Amino acid sequence: MPRLTRRDFIRIGASSVAVGAAAKITLLEPAPLWGAGRAVAPSDQIRFASIGTGTRGCELLQASLEVPGVECVAACDLYDSRHEAAQEAVQKQVPVTRNYHEILERKDVDAVIVAVMDHQHRRVVVDACAAGKDVYCEKPMSHTVEDGFAIVEAVRKNNRILQVGSQRVSSLVYEKAREIYASGAVGDVFFIEGSMDRNSASGAWVYPIPPDASEQTIDWTEFLVGAPQRPFDPVRFFRWRCFTDYGEGLAGDLFVHLLSGILSIVGTDEAPKRARTAGGLFRWKDGRDFPDVIETLYDYPNLRILLRCNLNNSENETVRLQGTKGTLEIVGTTLTFTPQETNYGPETYSTKGWPARLRNEYLAKWTAEHPQPAPLDYQTIEAETFTVPAGYSDVPAHQANFFNAVRTRKPPLENEVFGNHAAIGCHMANYAYFKNTIATWDAESKTIRG
Ligand SMILES: NC(=O)c1ccc[n+]([C@@H]2O[C@H](COP(=O)([O-])OP(=O)(O)OC[C@H]3O[C@@H](n4cnc5c(N)ncnc54)[C@H](O)[C@@H]3O)[C@@H](O)[C@H]2O)c1
C-alpha cells in the first residue's frame, strides 16, 4: 500500500483524536479490474444492453467503457433524446429502441443494466430474468415491498445473477472499513449514524425540463405502467423522485446508499426490526409528496442505526460506527479509525461527594489492585486515516463486480436478497413518516405493520 509523500501528508489535528494521539494517512490503491491490461477471450466477453438511459443510465454507460471485457450492444429508453445521449455516452451508434422487449428477445444480449425509474424496476427486472438475462438493477431495488419479493422470486426461479446499484458496497473505502471492522479493532458496535445532506436545487431534484419534451418524444403511456393514470406531465417524468407514485423520496434515493454501505461493513443482511422517523417539508414546497428533512432510527438486532438526510444544508456524506474499542468514520471518501482509551483509571467523579478519608482509602485500594505501567510504557493511541487516489470512482468497480459475477455465476455481495433488505429499510422509513407510527417488519407475512 503506497504511503503519501511528505508533501501530501496532512496532519490531523490532535483535537480530532484522543489526547497524545498520532495520525497517519494511507492512500488506498484500487485493485486492477478483472481483465485489465490483457486481451479478454471472446468467451469471456459480456454483451449487455442498457434499459433506461437517463442521467444514471448514461453515467453507467460511460463507466462501462472503463470495464474490460464488456460491450454495450443496445440501448432503450422511453424518451427519444435519451437514445442520442446513450449513443454519445457509449461512443457508439448502438441500436436504440423505446421497447425493452426488443432487447430481451435478442439472444446475443447476456445481461442488462436496468436504470429506469424505481416504479418500473419490478416489471423490467422480472421480464429480463424470465428472458434469461442477468441484471444490474439500479438502487433502490424495489418501489414497494411486494416489488422486492417479486424480484427475488424472479431471480431465483430463473437462476439469474442480480446486483443492485449501490456502488459504495464496491468502494475501496468501504472495503477497508469492512476489513478493520472484521479484525475486531472497533470492538462491539451498537450504534451507527449516517448522513447525506444537500443544499441545491439539483440536490432537491428540481431538474430542468428539456426543451423538446412532449408526448411525441416521450412514451407517457409506458411511463405510467405500474402508476396511476394522469395526463402528460413533464414535471412528473423528469422530477419523478419527488412523487410517491414513482419514487421513495430521500429514503429510496439516499438512505439506501447509507444503509447498503453500513450493512455491508457489519455483515448484516436482514430487514430492520423497527423504524421511527421524524421529518418535514420545509423549503422545497413545489407540489412534491416527500419531506426535505428526514431522520430515521432503525432497530437491528443488537444494533441501532440513525440516518439523516437534509436538503437544506450541505455537509460531507458521513458514516460513523461507534465501537467499544474505537470509532470508524467515513467522511466523503476518507476513512479514519480512532481507537479509544479503554484502560480506565479509578472512578473518581462520584467520590467528590465522599469525605477525604474514604476517598483516599478507596484510591489506595484501587491502586494496589491495578498496578499502573511506568510512564514510558504507555501505548500511543494512533488514529489511522485511509483515502483514495484523485479521480477514484467506485462506479466501474461496482460494474466490474457485477460482470465478474455473471462470468463466475457466484452471487455478488449486493445481490437481490441484500438489495431487498436495504430497500425494505427505505420503505419502513417512509411508512413510519407518512403513517406517523413506528414501522415494524413482520417477516412472517413479509409486510410492514404500524
Ligand atoms: N447508484 C446511484 O448513485 C444512482 C444515481 C442516480 C440514479 N440512480 C437510480 O437509477 C435509476 C434511474 O435514475 P435516473 O436519475 O437516471 O432517472 P432519469 O429520469 O434520468 O432516467 C430514467 C429513464 O428511464 C426510462 N424508462 C423508464 N421506464 C422505462 C421502460 N419501461 N423502458 C425503457 N426506459 C424506461 C425513462 O424514459 C428515463 O429516461 C433510478 O432507480 C435511480 O434511483 C442511482
pLDDT of residue 13: 34
The set of cell numbers assigned to 430 is 417512509
Residue 234 CA to ligand 1 centre (angstroms): 15
Ligand 1 residue neighbourhood (C-beta within 6 Å) = 51-52, 54-57, 76-79, 82, 100, 115-118, 120, 124, 138-139, 165, 167, 222-223, 240
Q: Which 8-state DSSP code applies to residue 161? A: -
Residue 102 CA to ligand 1 centre (angstroms): 19
CB atoms within 10 A of CB 88: 13
Residue 118 CA to ligand 1 centre (angstroms): 7
- Protein residue with least CA distance to atom 29, ligand 1: 116
Is pLDDT above 60 for 82?
A: yes
User: In ligand 1, which atom is closest to the CA atom of 166?
Assistant: 1
The whole-model pTM stands at: 0.93
State which H helix or E strand residue 266 sits in.
helix 256-266
pLDDT of residue 372: 73
* Confidence category of residue 375, pLDDT binned at 50, 70, 90: low
pLDDT of residue 374: 64
Residue 96 CA to ligand 1 centre (angstroms): 16
Residue 156 CA to ligand 1 centre (angstroms): 24
Residue whose cell numbers read 490503491: 29
Pocket test for ligand 1, best of 97, 138, 217 (most atoms within 8 A of CB): 138
Residue 238 CA to ligand 1 centre (angstroms): 10
Pocket test for ligand 1, best of 56, 118, 141, 167 (most atoms within 8 A of CB): 56
CB atoms within 10 A of CB 142: 30
Is pLDDT above 50 for 328?
A: yes
The Cα angle at residue 252 between residues 251 and 258, in degrees rounded to 5: 70
- Protein residue with least CA distance to atom 8, ligand 1: 56
Q: Which residues contact 450 (CB under 8 A, 6 or more apart)?
A: 431, 435, 437, 438, 439, 440
Q: How far apart are CA 28 and CA 334, in angstroms?
A: 10
pLDDT of residue 283: 98
What is the DSSP annotation of 48-90? EEEE--SHHHHHHHHHHTTSTTEEEEEEE-SBTHHHHHHHHHH
User: In ligand 1, which atom is closest to the CA atom of 165?
Assistant: 1
Residue 53 CA to ligand 1 centre (angstroms): 7
Q: How far apart are CA 84 and CA 123, in angstroms?
A: 24
pLDDT of residue 423: 98
Is pLDDT above 70 for 7?
A: no
Q: Kindly give the interhelix angle for 145-157 and 416-435, rounded to the nearest 10 degrees.
A: 170
pLDDT tens per residue, range 331-358 = 999 999 999 877 678 899 999 999 999 9
What is the DSSP annotation of 302-335? TEEEEEEEETTS----EEEEEESSEEEEEETTEE
pLDDT tens per residue, range 260-314 = 999 999 999 999 999 999 999 999 999 999 999 999 999 999 999 999 999 999 9
User: In ligand 1, which atom is closest to the CA atom of 252?
Assistant: 43
Tell me how long the chain is. Answer: 450
- Protein residue with least CA distance to atom 27, ligand 1: 116
Q: How far apart are CA 213 and CA 234, in angstroms?
A: 7
Residue 448 CA to ligand 1 centre (angstroms): 26
pLDDT tens per residue, range 160-206 = 999 999 999 999 999 999 999 999 999 999 999 999 999 999 999 99
pLDDT of residue 370: 87
The Cα angle at residue 332 between residues 329 and 338, in degrees rounded to 5: 20
- Protein residue with least CA distance to atom 11, ligand 1: 115
Residue 313 CA to ligand 1 centre (angstroms): 25
- Protein residue with least CA distance to atom 37, ligand 1: 78
The set of cell numbers assigned to 103 is 432487447
User: In ligand 1, which atom is closest to the CA atom of 78?
Assistant: 37
Is pLDDT above 80 for 17?
A: no
pLDDT of residue 24: 86
* Chain centroid, CA 363 distance in Å: 50
Q: Which residues contact 345 (CB under 8 A, 6 or more apart)?
A: 370
pLDDT tens per residue, range 214-248 = 999 999 999 999 999 999 999 999 999 999 999 99
